[in-house]
Amino acid sequence: MNVVDKWLENLQNSTKESKQKVENEKIQSGEYFLSYRLCGVKSYERGKLSFYKSKILKNGFIGKGTKLDGYKVVNSYSYPELKNEEDENILAMASALYSHYRFNYSEDSLSGTLGYMLAKEVLLTNRCYFDCNKLPLQFQAEPFHVVYDFKLYRGEFTLKSNIDKTEYRVIETTPPLLMDIKENRVYELDVDIELYRQLLNAPKIDKEDIGKVFTAVSKTAPNIEIHTPKTISTKKIETKPTPKISFKDSFFKLNFLYETYSLKYFPRDALRTFYEENQKIELTKDLGYEDKVKERLESFGFVFQNVNNDLYVFLNEHKRQEQLLIWKEFLNFHMPKLQEEGWVIERDEAFEMTFESASNVVVESENVNNWFTLSFNLEFNGVSQPIAPLVTSIIAEFDDFSQMPEIINIEVSKNHFVEVSSKQIQPIIKTIVELFDKKDKSEKLEISAYDSHLIEFMDEDVIWRGSKEILELSNKLKNFKGIKKVEPPKCLNANLREYQQEGLNWLNFLYEFKFGGILADDMGLGKTVQTLAHISRLKEEGKLTNPSLIVMPTSLIANWKNEAKKFTPNLRVLSLHGNDRADRFDDIENYDILLTTYPLVVKDQKRFNEYKFFYIILDEAQKIKNPKTQMAIALKTFKSDYRLALSGTPIENHLGELWSIFSFLMPGFLESLSFFRMYYQTPIEKEHNFERQNLLNRRVQPFMVRRTKEKVADELPEKSEIIKYTQFESAQSKLYESIRVTMEKKVQEAVREKGLGSSHITLLDALLKLRQVCCDPSLLKIEEAQKVQESAKLELLLDLVDELLQEGRKILIFSQFTSMLAIIEEKIKEQEISYTKLTGSTRNREEVLETFTSGKADIFLISLKAGGVGLNLVEADTVIHYDPWWNPAVENQATDRVHRIGQTKAVFVYKLIVENTIEQKILELQTRKQAIQDAIYDTDNQQENINFSGNELLELLKS
């Protein structure tokens, strides 16, 4: 190096040094601070991170400093005066990295992704130095590009890279870091750490192996830049490709053959380089020709998908009928021409797609005792197959069957399709949708004469065999001009029962006169489907001008969505529930039904008040029985054209609950609450005034429809209710009496001091403790109770369950206490009885239900609150109420999970009661509350004694 070159090098170094001094000068000279020292290696080892107590000298460089105990620094035990907020964040990261070393802090453990993050944060402090360098390391934004080369020395090749320099140090994090200790710079390497290590350990290579090694390395690491050895020859390919189509199952793939090389369409790089033995192949793709091939196939109607850079065409469920027509035309017409042009066509053994035409579409009918059986069959090639199981995918594909193409291809077996005209198949599909459960695979359909109007008109090309009476009756009913009734909507996928049809007529009456009303049918009688049918019908008639809002308990959201999808697919349903619901409000106008929950009414009140709804419908409307709640008040502010309430129990405790619902439906209909109490509630409940009872009944009768299962569901099996009594043994009896006496004194003292109205919490606590003793002493978390090993009711339950299981019963066990269910669960486990459990904390609700309904469990443990509504459990035939609840309506709702439409077995309901305890008083209270409900529903039951007062609750403690 001459004098000039040396001078220029010194000039450059002094400039760099001056710039880096600026970073040191940011720290006040003479003050101690925490500095970091990084070391890297040139071989397969981890980087090192050390901590120093340092200061900046007057010359602008860092001093030697004092090395600190790494464990104490990382775990914040010492040196607080050296650390700032930036250091605390770094040391927290270091603590996480070194946590597996426990009390042995290791400097050489800087590795992995966390090691990279830690090193980068340290570098950004400008207080990180390499070993004894006086200036801080600078992290560079641009990665360092690694290039490998085969170096020939004395007849052997070695693999070298541009980081093989003495001034470079590698920190093997993920990704790895490169330190330039001469320039005080740190780079991120653009190479995988594992690949870096393997290439670093490459052995010396003989000349005869260099081609093999180079080809293998190039294929293994295509993203690494490796210079080609001079011993490797290059072959260039520039030719027009041959299109290649490969069929398999229900898809095909498009590739291009360049000589013997099969290439994918992607990536769209003209030059493709790869290696074979001692040869480098440089293939120039004809991108223009490839595009023309792709466009030609697209002109046939195919839509390509990019899967791992391959072009695929799949026969999927989306617009399946449209795709089948495209595939049929391609296979029968276009593909032979392409083969003549030289295209390569490959068929996998698994690929077979055939098409043929149907001989006949046949309907067979038979009349047996005014019930008609219908079967729909497809005849082809001497074979007859039932249509219903074959058209489920077609039903799912078309929301509007009038949009079907003229030709429909029905898949009769795997990729074997039979062609029919839509004029033939469309009315049959509509009939199946109306009368079949879509999951039903049966070949025949039973339909009553009453429902014959649901049969669609059959095209003359459809062959009708057997009795045509059902067809004639269908036409007569459709043209009947006598008694006016509302027809169910055409798209309703349900066979309405007679009382449901009457309910639909009644809903239409309310609609025509703009009245509100309560549909108060028993649980399980189909309030949901009647409501959906009504809304669906209004939509079909073009009267549904705005979306309708349905409010319900959270547990019923899924049920409403499923029922709407199943019964009224023409209704567009939007769920305004969940944490992401806010994003869906702007889309409200595009839907017919909006679903929300009672807890969200207040939270989303402002958003709901922005809209006017067609209907506001409250399901389980007893939720607004208290008119003073924020929820009830908020709902009354919502704007709508019509309002409707659904509730199997509109009255649970007193008549004021009925007023609250009607005040939402038709404000002022029952006057003010004070007037209602004075004129109706007090005279009826306290004075036994039957004249006022009659007046109230007559007033609400047109606007409340209630049908019980006993009256309308003749097919329901018998329900037997059995009360099983038991008695305490000595220890449990003494515990109960001790608790009763103690709590009675406590309640009386509270009543004297605060009055009965203000002693509510004390009273409820007393009642709770007595109920817990009856269930099982261990529920009571006091030392005295824990000593009692007896549990009379639990023994009664286990004996009863054993007896019932021997009879082959399927059992539901309800309890208000989830902790009691846990105790029962342990006992059942001990006896190795199959069971499942549902409580409010259950997350996999559907899975739990499936376990019982599929027959995998004999016993279903259910908390009354979590499973009292919204479940269909007709697979069970026995209900056990382990502990009585104050409100009979709640227990009845739970029992209705089993005793409902669809039940074919006799149902037995057991109530377990401990004699001479609060539980007997609860039974008496249930009877009184039931009388309130019966009086308003049924005028024949007016003479029942329905009077009770708040003071009577205190008497519960006397037993």
What's the Cα-to-Cα distance from 417 to each of 329, 354, 409, 764, rounded to whole Å?
13, 6, 6, 69
Number of domains in the chain: 5
Q: Return d(Cα 326, Cα 300) in angstroms, integer.
A: 7
pLDDT at 589: 92
Q: Return d(Cα 211, Cα 229) in angstroms, integer.
A: 8
Same domain, 680 and 741: no
Q: Which two tokens stand for residue 41?
A: 């290696």
pLDDT at 629: 92
Q: Which two tokens stand for residue 489?
A: 């909507």
Q: Which residues contact 394 (CB under 8 A, 6 or more apart)?
A: 320, 321, 404, 408, 410, 425, 429
What's the Cα-to-Cα distance from 826 to each of 295, 622, 781, 850, rounded to whole Å?
67, 36, 19, 22
Q: Which residues contact 521 (CB under 8 A, 6 or more apart)?
A: 499, 503, 527, 530, 648, 705, 706, 707, 708
CATH code of the domain containing 594: 3.40.50.10810
Smallest Cα–Cα separation from 111: which of 172, 152, 25? 172
Does residue 367 lie within any of the structural domains? Answer: yes
Same domain, 347 and 368: no
pLDDT at 131: 82
Does residue 206 lie within any of the structural domains? Answer: no
Does residue 15 lie within any of the structural domains? Answer: no
Same domain, 342 and 469: no
Same domain, 341 and 384: no
Single residue among 90, 110, 139 that ends a domain in this structure:
139
Single residue among 433, 448, 478 that ends a domain in this structure:
478
Same domain, 387 and 324: no
Backbone angles phi, psi at 384, to 5 degrees: -120, 125
Provide the residue range defining the domain that includes 35: 23-139
DSSP structure string for 776-823 = -GGGS-SHHHHT----HHHHHHHHHHHHHHHTT--EEEEES-HHHHHH
Does residue 13 lie within any of the structural domains? Answer: no
Does residue 14 lie within any of the structural domains? Answer: no
CA angle at 626 for the pair 508 and 640, rounded to the nearest 5°:
35
Same domain, 567 and 611: yes
**What is Dmax (Cα atoms) for the chain?**
125
Does residue 174 lie within any of the structural domains? Answer: no
pLDDT at 163: 87
Q: Return d(Cα 185, Cα 17) in angstroms, integer.
A: 12
Cis peptide before 175 (omega within 30 of 0): yes
Q: Return d(Cα 233, Cα 280) in angstroms, integer.
A: 6
pLDDT at 698: 77
pLDDT at 842: 84
Same domain, 655 and 517: yes
pLDDT at 3: 53
Same domain, 395 and 539: no
CATH code of the domain containing 954: 3.40.50.300
Same domain, 634 and 560: yes
Single residue among 81, 108, 139 that ends a domain in this structure:
139
pLDDT at 341: 93
Does residue 468 lie within any of the structural domains? Answer: yes
Smallest Cα–Cα separation from 519: which of 536, 507, 532, 533? 507
pLDDT at 509: 79
Q: Return d(Cα 187, Cα 168) in angstroms, integer.
A: 10
* Segment 406-461, tens digit of pLDDT: 888 888 888 889 998 888 888 888 877 766 543 344 567 776 544 555 576 666 77
Same domain, 343 and 368: no
Same domain, 276 and 312: yes
**pTM of the full structure:** 0.41
Does residue 6 lie within any of the structural domains? Answer: no
Same domain, 600 and 674: yes
Smallest Cα–Cα separation from 880: which of 865, 866, 890, 894? 894
Residues of the chain with pLDDT under 70: 1-30, 40-46, 76-77, 99-108, 231, 275, 277-278, 316-317, 368-371, 434-443, 447-454, 456-459, 472-484, 513, 713, 715, 756-759, 868-870, 929, 931-933, 935-959
Residue whose token pair is 């206490």: 817
Q: State whether residue 329 is helix, strand or coil.
A: helix
